[in-house]
Structure 1
């Protein structure tokens, strides 16, 4: 997606908002030649800004976003190294008080067009919240892909990009959605220039921005699709069984922290997440699990086609494990999520 013009206007409006609420002057600039930015394929930003304060100049790399949610901010923070200079700053049309606190919690600087701001770099600290939402802001756009059914289709595309060129009926079967879902989702992606379609007999398609599509899926999965997977909690008498158990005989898969442990060997799981294809009665009985709304075992319905599973056989697709970890602000979980992204997701994302 190319939003260059919109992003520049958004950044300039946010810098004016900063001047209005703090008196600080700032402008879009080039990177100080004395700073070395070790950018890798996981890091995205639009430009640099320079803020003048306390007789000093502070530089930030800027990522402009036309809409933000907690999950998106968490992803942005997780993929930008904590010690990277210059630090990353997010610019958005409006940051609510709740999101402002989340940004401060995960140490992600931000500016918005209302003049709200969080800046932290060495001896610079600015925190402004409570500025009212500008009346001329356009309402957030609703996309067909961000429904529960649309997210199932996106998940199939992300796990297996060649499905983009498959017949609609095969797509619907693999994504486990109604046939009528496919056309509107494809049209939405084409309109937003996330995929390109060429030819007619049959049409061929390819992803134009797989990273943006992944980020969108991970952002909307927790609030839109996950609650429909019948999440329920349990507790076990002990946790020893988990490390030794292959869930394939129960037609189930490890997600979240246990999936991270299996994929990266980096995280010691505290919460156990299990996705099941069928009624988990056998699994519950064998390991003597008991229902507990505050339990440390969560079970959900598996929503994807078995053919999308690759690699570790009793672990969910890496994209889902990554999304599960991104629903928390736990530092170790976010570090594990970044490892999953770097080792199992990024290498398999197609480039335009």
Structure 2
């Protein structure tokens, strides 16, 4: 018998982080977050929308005192509480800022559209969730396109179905070869359920495709960037979090990556380029704060980008601002 005695190391006691007490669990896994990136007042959120975008969101924030921004073990970044916009919010905001026009501008060169079309087999039936005017169909001349959007405008033709994802999935399980949602999952209060319903709609062997804002990215370096804040975007993604989502749902990851910015995002590139203060230059991890240098930096960068972006295109080296997932349902 050996004379060497072995002892088990004593477990190290770690103090719980008081900043995480009572935190909303990860919307993908239900596990506690690994860190709180920051906290912010309701008033700051309202001011970013009212002063920066000319949109009043106070009716959506009634009863809320503060928001926290957390990072989950999956890499997902999410707000607590999760407060999403209603039809009135999107109707006023999208009309005021001509959002659909911006999203459809040069849709033939949208990187997510072009890349997804390559994954779609000839003759496949494709469901485009949250499709708006349904411009992705222009890339699917080799397939059958169906759009889904309960808020579709009256001038959209009958290829777009005005139903919620929940309603459509209940009536059409396994009806599609591909389901896709471009910049939709970051708007929903339950992203896991959203992806579950997308998977329910595809046949075994079918594909689920998602695109969403990337964290971290140049856009999270823009101080007080209004698009990435409730009640608009409530989650931010990356390849790690998309892979975790696929794993939780039993899907096989075909591709989890980032995508280069598209030409229609040129304004964002120049806005970031022209900032004289960015969040990554701060001594703390905050990306939203009432700091006059931040407000001035964003205002001047926005005005500068409005001037130069119509004439100057992005370089090929422009950093990604979107995360992207293609996942396959098992046979």
TM-score (norm 2): 0.27
Which structure has the highest helix share of the two?
A: 1
TM-score (norm 1): 0.26
Relative contact order, higher structure (CA 8 A, sep 6+): 2
